[in-house]
Structure 1
Amino acid sequence: MKIAPFDESAFHMDHPRGTVSFNYLLMGGEPETPENYRYILGRQEADFNMPRHRHTFEQIRLPLVGDMNLGKQGILHEGEIGYFPEGQTYGPQDDPIGDPKQLQLVLQFGGASGLGMGAGRGRGPASSRPEGERRRERRSTRFPRPRYKGVLIMNPAHFNWLPIPDAAGVERKYMGAFTERGFWIEMIKIDAGAEWSPTSEGARRLIVALSGAATVDGESIGRLAAIQADAGEKLQVSATEETVLYIVGLPPVQLPSTPSDQFDTIESDGGIQFENPRQAV
């Protein structure tokens, strides 16, 4: 289990466009496996523009402050959850800097295609690109054909809180499960003084505290603290004030017995493809 209290001082510039600072809440640390992930809190530092593009990996985004322009598909509003399927083209993005600055939770992870995060562009907090470094050479890269038509947008405010059996003072909003991997998105609300002690036998759970204060296995957490609980690990969450947890469950990636042919092979310098190659970073 990993428990990472939020560190406001941990933002640093690590986006190819140079206008978004990243705070790496959690890193999977498994670059050679299809289960790798990275959990980022992104803060916009200037006007942001991004051409239409797609990735080889999955993304789940939750704007905490401000909206996100999806281009042709409209707006991902503050408080909504957007699921960006692997291989799905989106944008162009055109987001002027806001006041306060836009703040967004971004989970990136390997999808059911099995391509993992090895081709991802984000380098993480332990690495930096030397000044003047040349871009990687273009090479043949497989992109999964998208399983859904467009970004899926969920509005948590329209979902009901439902009680969890045998857990007094604990309620759940279940937003759904996706792809053959069956990863899911949910929220858990724990009343002050109540406890929640779940175990997930078949999946890793990535948790971010959206509000409140609690202890997890005796360690104090507050807003934007992040937790990785692997399959079989039992959490012991005791809320000292009403606490809302935002959870993504990630079962292991299972590949079909007959290899899939649902890929496009294109020339790329990594796990991103711009609709217009001339707009590449």
Structure 2
Amino acid sequence: MARDIEVVDPERLEWEGASAHRSGGVRFKTIFTGESGEPDNYWFTLTNVDEYSTPRHRHNFDQLRIMLDGSFGFGERVQPEGSVGYFPAGQYYQQNSTGPSTHIFLQCEGGGRDPYLAPQASRQAAAKLAEIGEFRDGLYYPPDGSEPKDGFEAVWESVVGRPIAYFEPRVDEPIIMQPERFRYVADPDQPGVAEKHLGTFTERRLGVSILRIDEGSTASIEAAPAPATLFFVLSGTGTLTPAEGEARELADRYAFRMLPGDRAVVTAAARLELLQISLPR
């Protein structure tokens, strides 16, 4: 039986607040998630930030942040509009908003394969911890008066049931890529189709690229050998037609997900630029 390919219009999704272990000023629209409690879990969102800051901290998962509107600060650095940021597991960083911004945000397992907590599980655990202790300024203060710890660490340890452990990050600092400085490489087998590969990270091959399909052109695409391949329309309009199934509309900021074995044809009504993310293997 043919499997349908999920197409999501984020405009139809509801905004969700941040977890209790972080302050307000940030909202999410969950576009796609993996299976809660299962290996290779992930969270792919449209994120809106106003006033927001965190203490210097690190995670045991990888992150990608694609700035759609506005910019965002990380300590002394600023990730500008249009850029793609890779934030590796184990790497310390600090967040501080530079004004309103909107971005695409992916969190997924890192090279250490530590479990990635689903948003709902994280919120539930944070709510339970808040009943006996206190979250303040990104830190968790235990009820016994012991030293506070990072809010994320407190939540993760309460769910997984063991102390968190970090390995040395694969790179020395977050990587901020400027897609406009990369060149498209034409597909010799598909006229009007080109790809701009931005990077592949760690031995698990988390990959990010931009696929361009000229007006009136058609691209045959298939899922990467990964738990899922995620697509987000950066610009343009067109249709997505699964190997077996009906055509679906694609428009600005729509998203779709392909699972292993999925194949489809994308036709551009107006030149399409698709962000393409291959999840860690």
For normalisation by structure 2, the TM-score amounts to 0.79
Q: State the Cα distance separating 1:201 from its structure 2 match.
A: 5.2
Percent of aligned pairs with the same residue? 28
Within 5 Å, give how 1:21-170 maps onto structure 2: 21-33=27-39, 35-45=40-50, 47-72=51-76, 74-91=77-94, 93-96=95-98, 98=99, 101-118=100-117, 122-123=119-120, 133-134=131-132, 136=155, 140-170=163-193
Cα RMSD of the aligned pairs, angstroms, is 2.4
Q: Deviations over 1:69-104 (max 9, x none)?
A: 1114x111111111000111111x2224x3xx3101
Aligned to 1:10: 14
Give, as a single letter, the amino acid of the residue that structure 1 aligns with 2:105: V
Q: State the Cα distance separating 1:243 from its structure 2 match.
A: 0.9
Q: Deviations over 1:183-212 (max 9, x none)?
A: 211000111111111224522311111111
Cα gap change, 1:51 to 1:128, in 2 (>3 Å): closer
Give, in whole Å, the separation in 2 of the partners of 1:58 and 1:125.
Answer: 16
Cα gap change, 1:220 to 1:133, in 2 (>3 Å): farther
Aligned to 2:26: 20
Q: State the Cα distance separating 1:143 from its structure 2 match.
A: 2.1
Is the contact between residue 85 and residue 146 of structure 1 (CA under 8 Å) also seen in structure 2? yes
Give, in whole Å, the separation in 2 of the partners of 1:222 and 1:127.
Answer: 35
Q: Deviations over 1:27-77 (max 9, x none)?
A: 1124321x11110111014x21111110111000011111111114x1111
Residue range with higher mean Cα deviation, 242-251 or 198-207: 198-207
Give, in whole Å, the separation in 2 of the partners of 1:192 and 1:70.
Answer: 38
Aligned to 1:208: 232
Give, in whole Å, the separation in 1 of the partners of 2:240 and 2:25.
Answer: 34
Aligned to 1:262: none
Is the contact between residue 24 and residue 125 of structure 1 (CA under 8 Å) also seen in structure 2? no
Aligned to 1:249: 278
Where does structure 2 lack aligned partners over 5 or more consecutive residues? 134-154, 242-246
Give, in whole Å, the separation in 1 of the partners of 2:37 and 2:271.
Answer: 36
Cα gap change, 1:48 to 1:184, in 2 (>3 Å): same
Q: State the Cα distance separating 1:145 from its structure 2 match.
A: 2.2
Is the contact between residue 14 and residue 123 of structure 1 (CA under 8 Å) also seen in structure 2? no
Cα gap change, 1:124 to 1:158, in 2 (>3 Å): farther
Give, in whole Å, the separation in 2 of the partners of 1:130 and 1:77.
Answer: 34
Give, in whole Å, the separation in 1 of the partners of 2:79 and 2:224.
Answer: 33
Bigger helix fraction: 2
Q: Deviations over 1:244-269 (max 9, x none)?
A: 100111252xxxxxxxxxxxxxxxxx
Aligned to 1:269: none
Q: Secondary structure at the match of 1:144?
A: coil
Within 5 Å, give how 1:185-196 maps onto structure 2: 185-196=208-219
Cα gap change, 1:125 to 1:251, in 2 (>3 Å): closer
For normalisation by structure 1, the TM-score amounts to 0.79
Q: Secondary structure at the match of 1:62?
A: strand
Whether 1:221 and 2:250 are equivalent positions in the alignment is: yes
Residue range with higher mean Cα deviation, 133-142 or 169-178: 133-142
Aligned to 2:146: none
Give, in whole Å, the separation in 1 of the partners of 2:13 and 2:278.
Answer: 28
Q: Secondary structure at the match of 1:157?
A: helix
Number of aligned positions between the proteins: 243
Is the contact between residue 234 and residue 274 of structure 2 (CA under 8 Å) also seen in structure 1? yes
Aligned to 1:198: 221
Is the contact between residue 10 and residue 29 of structure 2 (CA under 8 Å) also seen in structure 1? no
